[in-house]
Amino acid sequence: MIGQTPILILKEGTRREKGKGAQFSNISAARAIADSVRSTLGPRGMDKMLVDSMGDVVITNDGVTILKEIDVEHPAAKMLVEVAKTQDEECGDGTTTAVILAGELLKKAEALIEQNVHPTVISGGYRMAAQKAREVLDDLAINVTPSDRETLKDIARTSMISKSVAASRNLLADVAVNAVTAVAEKNSDGKWEVDDDNIQVVKKQGGSMDDTHMIAGIIVDKEAVHPAMPKKVENAKIALVDSALEVKKTEIDAKIEITDPSQLQAFLAEEENMLKKMVEKVKSSGANVLFCQKGIDDLAQHYLGKEKIYSVRRVKKSDMEKLAKATGANLVTKLDDLTADDLGTACLVEEKKIADDKMTFVTDCKNPKAVSILIRGGTEHVIDEIDRSLNDAISVVSVAFEDGKLVTGGGSTAIELALKLRDYAASIGGREQIAIDAFASAMEVVPTALSENAGLDPIDVLIELRQAHKAGKKYAGINVFTGKVTDMKKERVLEPIRVGRQALSSATDAAVMILRIDDVIASKGGGGGKGPKGPDMGDEGGMD
């Protein structure tokens, strides 16, 4: 009889977890990831030192950098790494907040599953809570305009206060706001758009953190090709050429036969003449600076030097595009088409030696749509951390520019959301209200972690914060330096609304996805399987 014959569906020895065992295993793996970055949150957060198999060291408290670098095996844990990556791509900041919020949502869900609340009920409640939280967030938002430079600087300072560059945050905030203001453009709908790719960052070891500055122009990591060229060109007329100043080979296979010495001389003279004409073409356009994406022949270099035309060869395509935006020049693909109308302008082009490298500085461009930031610092690790911090600052200022809305930090927004969600939970019937209440409690992980990292008593802080918010002080948050609950709007602790909105969405999506898994089965590797070794859960955790 068929009923008595056991049917083997999975191969013997297949690794499998199911039911509550699978859920609890996934939750604990995801929580372990959240706990690994929890101690880095806030101005009093600590740094992590990451050492790879080659002995390379990264020292940072940037959530996404830590999670990209650590070697993650568990598939559920990888989902939390994805949360950090998404947060970083969308906002550039708030990665640690998003991850610890996802971890806390799972911790609260674990307690509910133990009480036999079904995971789909919890998921439904979490979705409702996240939707309500986003609405409350919009009500709490404060408007900001691109002309309000001080508020934009406050946003940049807030993003850097927890980093090791906090001592120089005023200078770096100024650099970030100036850079974003320079490259911001209005689109056809009249909304602001900021493309971070138009901000070039050049890192050079040496000097101090305070030597970091913005240049209204572009730094090209190349030097002049010939010693006879001027090292400094004022009122530069800049030509950008995407073709080689060399005598090319013929398009088809060809053979040139020379039968006597006079023909050889004529051939060389013609080659020289062709190069001379190319240089004449550059000179006749009125250019006194030439950036060439391809090569420049030795003889052409000699003639350009004689004409005192500052020339740089083999410039990267990305640098050429930035130069075009900064100087207003047109990128010419055929040298014969170069005219005076294609030239860009800059007050000064000069060759400078920074550390051991000679570089070309194109500075004081009029209304540049691409700018450069030169980062200086004592050691390579310091420079890398300044770069990460500045990148966060630029990202949050860009997001504030585009959205025009911000909220207060210091855990004030999280507590206000928790308060409003508890009121909302009471108005909802059914079991979902338990999940909404759990979501509200999970929101309080932000001020709890901030106070723990500052060595304060999290329970006392939480009670005080709840009292303040119940009394209508919606901007009350924890000042981790004094240990007191103060008005975060007056303290100028501000962040763009998109940081909080994205953290809510990413954390909820990840938590719901992990909660809905009740079976973990080892799948076939290499094929189209999307299991622990399939393409969707491959080595995405930034494994070095």
430 shares a domain with 330? no
- Which DSSP category does 11 fall into? P
pLDDT of residue 193: 84
**Contacts of residue 309, Cβ cutoff 8 Å, sequence gap at least 6:** 229, 279, 282, 283, 287, 288, 289, 290
Residue at 40 is within a domain: yes
Q: Of 367, 389, 420, at which residue does a domain stop?
A: 367
CA–CA separation, 392 and 193 (whole Å): 17
Q: Model confidence over 167-218: pLDDT tens digits?
A: 888 889 999 999 998 888 888 777 888 888 888 888 888 888 888 888 888 8
> Has 356 been annotated as catalytic?
no
Cα–Cα distances (Å) from 135 to 127, 138, 154, 396, 402, in that order, read: 13, 5, 25, 21, 19
Q: What is the pTM of this model?
A: 0.79
pLDDT tens track for 518-527: 777 766 765 4
Is-contact 398 180, C-beta < 8 A?
yes
396 belongs to a structural domain: no
Domain limit, last residue, from 367, 396, 417: 367
Catalytic residue among 387, 392, 437, 509: 392
179 within domain boundaries: no
The catalytically annotated residue of 40, 65, 95, 360 is 95
Could you tell me if 224 and 352 lie in one domain?
yes
What residues does 284 pair with on adjacent strands? none
392 carries an active-site annotation: yes
Q: Distance (Å, rounded) from C-alpha 384 to C-alpha 378? A: 11
For residue 273, give its domain range: 218-250+262-367
**Angle formed by the axes of helices 149-160 and 380-403, nearest 10°:** 140
Pairing status of strand 289-292 against strand 232-241: parallel
Residue 42's pLDDT is 84
According to the model, what pLDDT value does residue 525 have? 61
E-strand spans in 390-458? 405-408
Cβ(485)–Cβ(476) below 8 Å: yes
Give the pLDDT of the chain (544 residues) as one tens digit per residue: 445 665 555 555 445 566 677 788 888 888 888 888 889 888 888 888 888 888 888 888 888 888 888 888 888 888 888 888 888 888 888 888 999 999 999 999 999 988 888 889 999 999 999 999 999 999 988 888 888 889 999 999 888 888 878 788 888 999 999 999 888 888 877 788 888 888 888 888 888 888 888 888 888 888 888 888 888 889 989 999 988 887 776 667 777 777 777 777 777 777 788 888 888 888 888 889 999 998 888 888 888 888 898 999 999 998 899 899 888 889 988 888 888 888 989 988 998 888 788 889 998 888 888 899 999 888 888 888 888 889 889 989 998 888 888 999 888 999 999 999 999 988 887 888 999 999 999 999 999 999 998 888 999 999 999 999 999 888 899 988 888 889 988 988 898 999 989 999 999 999 999 888 877 776 676 544 444 444 444 444 444 4
Tell me if 497 is assigned to some domain: yes
pLDDT, position 249: 64
What's the DSSP call for residue 142? E
3-state secondary structure (DSSP) of residue 235: strand
Same domain assignment for residues 345 and 288: yes
Do 25 and 130 have their domain in common? yes
Structural domain count of the chain: 2
pLDDT, residue 541, reads: 42
* 521 and 415 co-located in one domain: yes
Question: Which one from 40, 65, 86, 96 is the annotated catalytic residue?
Answer: 96
Do the domain assignments include residue 133? yes
User: Same domain, yes or no, for 360 and 413?
Assistant: no
What pLDDT sits at residue 415?
Answer: 93
Rounded to whole angstroms, what are the CA distances from 463 to 415, 437, 460, 469, 478? 11, 17, 5, 10, 11
Residue 222 φ/ψ region, left for φ over 0, alpha for ψ in the -120 to 50 degree band, beta for the rest: beta
What mean pLDDT value characterizes the chain? 84
User: Are 337 and 463 within one domain?
Assistant: no
- Assigned domain for 94 exists: yes
Please give the Cα distance from 451 to 44 (Å, whole number). Answer: 9
Tokens of 231: 């090292």
Q: Is 540 part of any domain? A: no
Q: For residue 59, what is the domain's CATH number?
A: 1.10.560.10
Question: Is residue 357 domain-shared with residue 223, that is, in the same domain?
Answer: yes
CATH number of the domain that residue 360 is part of: 3.50.7.10
Report the chain's terminal Cα–Cα distance, integer Å: 55
- Helix-strand-coil percent breakdown of the chain, rounded to 5? 50, 15, 35
Q: Which 3 state secondary structure label does DSSP give 77?
A: helix
Q: Which residues contact 376 (CB under 8 A, 6 or more apart)?
A: 204, 205, 206, 207, 208, 209, 211, 212, 383
Question: What is the crossing angle of helices 412-426 and 458-470, to 10°?
Answer: 70
Same-domain check for residues 326 and 421: no
Extended beta strands in 330-404, E state: 331-332, 344-354, 357-363, 371-377
In a domain, 312, yes or no: yes
What pLDDT is recorded for position 528? 47
The residue among 301, 334, 367 that closes a domain is: 367
332 with 438, same domain: the answer is no
Whether residue 421 is found in the same domain as residue 358? no
Q: Which of 62, 88, 93, 384 is catalytic?
A: 62
The per-residue pLDDT for 19 is 67
Q: Which two tokens stand for residue 277?
A: 């004409």
pLDDT given for residue 5 in this prediction: 63
Quick one: 171 exposed, middle or buried, by C-beta within 10 A (0-12, 13-18, 19+)?
Answer: middle
